[in-house]
Amino acid sequence: MGAHAEEMAEQEPDGIVLTEAQKRSRRQRSIAIALALGVLVVLFFAVTLVKGPAVLNRPL
Amino acid sequence: MSVIDHDAIALSSPRISEAEVGDYFALLKPRVMSLVIFTALVGLAIAPGHFHPVLAFTSLLCIAVGAGASGALNMALEGDIDAKMARTANRPIPRGKVTRAEALAFGLTLAFFSVLTLGILVNWYAGALLAFTIFFYVVIYTMWLKRWTAQNIVIGGAAGALPPVVAWVAATGSLSVEPLLLFLIIFFWTPPHFWALALFRSDDYARAGVPMLPVVAGPDATRLQILLYTIVLVAIALSPWALGYFDAVYGVISLLLGAGMLVLAANVFRRRERAASLRATRKLFAFSILYLFVLFATLLAEVVVRSGAPLISSWFA
């Protein structure tokens, strides 16, 4: 990094800095969303295996 | 000159959520969800024909998530009421852990995915019925009936009674008398259950401006209505046996439980002194939960025994 960029970085305000509690809860929420998406993927995969080609047959 | 106005950002700094996973889980109303899962399980179990366990699990999961979505949307729309009531003041929105907009987004996302997943993976009749159930609970009950009429929980009770019907439709792709009987049992169970709660929480409801029957018509009229609905409930709860869908074991248990409900409802009707009335109402409220659980557990047990008996006898043949 050049001297000018370093000087700019020092002058920039910190912006929004998350507290430890906010970071922890955000991480928890992110993990929960990831798990939910994982469950959804596994569910679709499992049902595809169970139904086989019939998965494309969706009567109304 | 900077392109970004940092002072403006500092002044209007966004609210950073500290909501934990548990707060979002609480938005799902887990206790209501557990009852929904159980009644839906019975709806699945009594459905005829073979239903693959993976599809059965998928159906239950979607119904549970759909019920949770309804709970989250209900809390998003009733944040003002919840804050005024002791029973609900500790929910995530009144506590300031989750905003109404966050709860709304959460509920809509879950509702969308639960309906879509049930429709794609199981069948679209069930998906559509789940969508209708969520719509009924959120729009018809929460947004319209709850703040407008003392019959709110009577009509709104239909939403709580639909899960076993959704489950049956998921398993069979059609509708029949048996799931409609389950619907009617839960439908007529709802008023005595919630009016018992409303009787000993009437101050709460009055403070929040919710026109529950004890607030609008008074405790005596509510006691009479509880008794009348209990009589209808007990008669309807006998119908799965009377119509020949279930054995005498169910009939006897339904009769015994019904007798218990009637005695407790009659006690609520007779006892008007403050302390005795409060005791009688609390007893009815607690017993009504046990009543529905044991009634549905009996249906489940009968189905398990019925399907298990040929298997066991084949072992000894």
Cβ neighbours of residue A50 closer than 8 Å, sequence gap 6 or more:
B52, B54, B55
Tell me the chain B residues in contact with residue A43 when contact means C-beta distances shorter than 8 Å. Answer: 58, 61, 117, 121
Of the candidates B6, B283, B93, B189, the residue with the CA atom closest to the CA atom of residue A12? B6
Structure-token pair, residue B265: 């409802």
Portion 19-48 of A in contact with B at CB < 8 A: 19, 21-22, 25-26, 28-29, 31-32, 40, 43-44, 46-47
Predicted-complex ipTM score: 0.83
User: Is B120–A58 a contact, with Cβ atoms under 8 angstroms apart?
Assistant: yes
User: Is A22–B17 a contact, with Cβ atoms under 8 angstroms apart?
Assistant: yes
Q: What is the pLDDT at residue B11?
A: 52
pLDDT tens column, B242-280: 999 999 999 999 999 999 999 999 999 998 888 899 999
Of the candidates B85, B72, B86, the residue with the CA atom closest to the CA atom of residue B26? B72
d(CA B106, CA B74): 11
pLDDT tens column, B94-150: 999 999 999 999 999 999 999 999 999 999 999 999 999 999 999 999 999 999 999
- Higher pLDDT, residue B81 or A60: B81
Give the residue on A whose Cα is nearest the Cα of B18: A22
- Higher pLDDT, residue A14 or B227: B227
Structure-token pair, residue B109: 């996302």
Q: What is the pLDDT at residue B265?
A: 97
User: Is B18–A59 a contact, with Cβ atoms under 8 angstroms apart?
Assistant: no
d(CA B280, CA B264): 7
Of the candidates B235, B233, B227, B230, the residue with the CA atom closest to the CA atom of residue B268? B227
Q: What is the pLDDT at residue B29?
A: 97
